[in-house]
Amino acid sequence: MTRPRGTLIRHPTVTRINHWITATCFVLLMLSGLAMFDPLLYWLSNLFGGGQWTRAVHPWIGLILVVSYAGMIVQFWRDNLWTKDDLAWVRSFDRVLANDEEHVPEVPRFNAGQKFVFWSMALLIPVLLFTGLLMWEVYFGRATSLGTQRVAILIHSLAAIAAIIIWITHVYAGIWVRGSVRAMTQGYVTPGWAWRHHRKWFRALAATGSPGPTPNARDSEARK
Amino acid sequence: MADLQSQNYIRRSASTLTPPSARNHEDEVAKLIDVTRCIGCKACQAACMEWNDLRAPVGTFEGTYDNPLDLDPHTWTLMRFTEYENEQGNLEWLIRKDGCMHCEDPGCLKACPAPGAIVQYANGIVDFISENCIGCGYCVKGCPFNIPRISPVDHKSYKCTLCSDRVAVGLEPACVKACPTGAILFGSKKDMTDWAGERIVDLKSRGFENAGLYDPPGVDGTHVMYVLHHADKPSIYAGLPENPKISATVEFWKGLIKPVALAGIAASVVAGFLHWVIAGPNKVQPEDERQAEHLLSEERRKRESGENPYIGGGGAA
């Protein structure tokens, strides 16, 4: 990816590809899952070639998502560890919503909201995987008792709804904070973006002269 | 044969609209299985196979008269044999013809996510419309009697149709026609209930004081009913449920959470939109870029003069 002179690497190429595989899987799972969840949305099954196809393809996409999200965890877990500063950020959430970031504690690579999205998905996806396997009729239809399957299917629905609502906030945050989508498509942000939204991260990069995404990363992608 | 509209629907799975219902002069039907008169000949099983063109693969012998061992996509009715030792220490051979009970409140239909894959006719018969079935297995989880079976070949769910195709043209179900002892009867639900009442009086006079009709109220009654000699203990008949009803888990999953979930999803989209309207986008300002450039040149100067504790010069020049 051509990165303009003077910009910072927010997400390296591998991360971006990994993210968009995850995103594609999530959207497909959401559409096919909602089609089977509520009859009002059954028409979404047409996107997958009908009900039988929707039912057949949903678990396989889910497996790809699990592998893909595991890759996200490997790349992101360290920068998403919870710290005391995150509590201060949560306390000034009204300032965050008001776009008044001068009165919000300085943020490292990820803020508490991003960490919440990351960890809740890291929790919900294994829950969805496990309950999903129990209700996968083709392979595990007779593996557990009907009572277990009834509970699994209820938990699967509830976890999926929680994941969808968290996904909506994630997408909206990307639209709301300008420059975030480019950070995940083309991978770079301007120094001003880093200063405004992730000042602690920016300070660390500036101190080491690193182009990002971490303070000790060197400039492997030579500037064009 | 998907839908010849020979009978009215009163329920249609995963549908919010009222199904065609103008032809409303239909009696509720019922099949009455008098377990006390059954001799276990399996003529009903054979008749079911023959009428419905079903041939289950040959199974294995496991030391029981049950053959095959369980319901499957090709076995819609099955004689289940139980050797029961009664209070007097005598053996009673209980033989129950298992299959779909055609619940008045069908759990399969409630759980089904595919519009029109499960329907209930005005006469009470619950029928699977295969071309709409998606093979998800939700009906299996919805059923309080553990009846539907999904074919691993075509991924469709199968069960007894109560010979809806025969009943639609005024015939009795195949199993009823084949039964040599009159243990299986078919008619209006009222007639069958009345006849069961006479049978129960007769059984009680012969010493079966707990004889009774199995028409469980937990599913608003069924369109397949049993006369049992021990109606106080249905479970001795190869696990016939004592008080079948749709699981509370299924009721919740198919009830409250559907509208609440969609409302929650819609609310979060609306909240996002409102925030956009009220607060608007969070944009980097020219001032931010100036401050950032200032810090960058400060740090670069520090590094070059050796003040920086991390590393020497170089970096992103």
The CATH number of the domain where A27 resides is what?
1.20.950.20
Given a cut of 50, is residue A111 above it in pLDDT?
yes
The values of phi and psi at residue B95, to 5°, are: -125, 115
What average pLDDT does the structure give for chain B? 93
Does a cis peptide bond (omega within 30 degrees of 0) precede residue A108?
no
Q: How many CB atoms lie within 10 A of CB A172?
A: 17
**Distance set, CA A126 to CA A117, A119, A129, A156 (Å):** 15, 11, 5, 10
Cα–chain-centroid distance for residue B31? 20
**Structural domain range at position A162:** 9-84+114-178
Rounded Cα distance between A27 and A21, Å, is: 10
Identify the band that residue B3 occupies on the pLDDT scale cut at 50, 70 and 90.
low
Q: What are B48's two structure tokens?
A: 């079911």
Rounded Cα distance between B128 and A159, Å, is: 30
Q: What is the mean pLDDT of residues B171-177?
A: 98
CB contact under 8 A, A150 and B249: yes
The answer to whether residues B50 and B76 touch, using CB atoms and an 8 Å cutoff, is no
Residue A161 covered by a domain: yes
Q: Total structural domains in chain A?
A: 1
Rounded Cα distance between B127 and B117, Å, is: 8
CB contact under 8 A, A138 and B288: no
Residue A199 covered by a domain: no
The values of phi and psi at residue A97, to 5°, are: -65, -30
CB contact under 8 A, A176 and B136: no
Q: Where are the beta strands (DSSP E) in B86-207?
A: 91-99, 118-121, 126-128, 149-150, 157-158, 184-188
The answer to whether residues A6 and A16 touch, using CB atoms and an 8 Å cutoff, is no
Closest C-alpha to A134, from A154, A120, A158: A154
Closest C-alpha to B296, from A107, A156, A208: A208
Rounded Cα distance between A115 and B219, Å, is: 47
**Residue B120 in 3-state DSSP?**
strand
Given a cut of 90, is residue B203 above it in pLDDT?
yes
Query: ipTM value of the model?
Result: 0.92
Residue A45 covered by a domain: yes
Q: What is the pLDDT of residues A114-161, one digit of tens each?
A: 999 999 999 999 999 999 999 999 999 999 999 999 999 999 999 999
What average pLDDT does the structure give for chain A? 95
Per-residue pLDDT at B317: 38
Residue A185 covered by a domain: no
Nearest CA in chain B to A173: B272
The answer to whether residues B240 and B78 touch, using CB atoms and an 8 Å cutoff, is no
Given a cut of 80, is residue B23 above it in pLDDT?
no
DSSP state of B255: T
The answer to whether residues B214 and B234 touch, using CB atoms and an 8 Å cutoff, is yes
Q: Which option is the CATH number for B9-246: 3.30.70.20, 3.40.50.300, 3.40.1390.30, 3.40.30.10?
A: 3.30.70.20
The answer to whether residues B159 and B99 touch, using CB atoms and an 8 Å cutoff, is yes
- Between A169-173, B165-169, B259-263, the lowest mean confidence (pLDDT) is in B165-169
Task: Suggest the residue from A7, A133, A196 to mutate for an interface test with chain B (most B CBs closer than 10 A).
Answer: A196
Identify the band that residue A224 occupies on the pLDDT scale cut at 50, 70 and 90.
very low
- Between A107-111, B7-11, B225-229, B298-302, the lowest mean confidence (pLDDT) is in B7-11
Q: How many CB atoms lie within 10 A of CB B2?
A: 9
Given a cut of 80, is residue A16 above it in pLDDT?
yes
Q: What is the pLDDT of residues A52-82, one digit of tens each?
A: 999 999 999 999 999 999 999 999 999 999 9
Distance from the Cα of A21 to chain B's closest Cα (Å) equals 23
Cross-strand partners of B228: B212
Q: Does A156 participate in catalysis according to the annotation? A: no
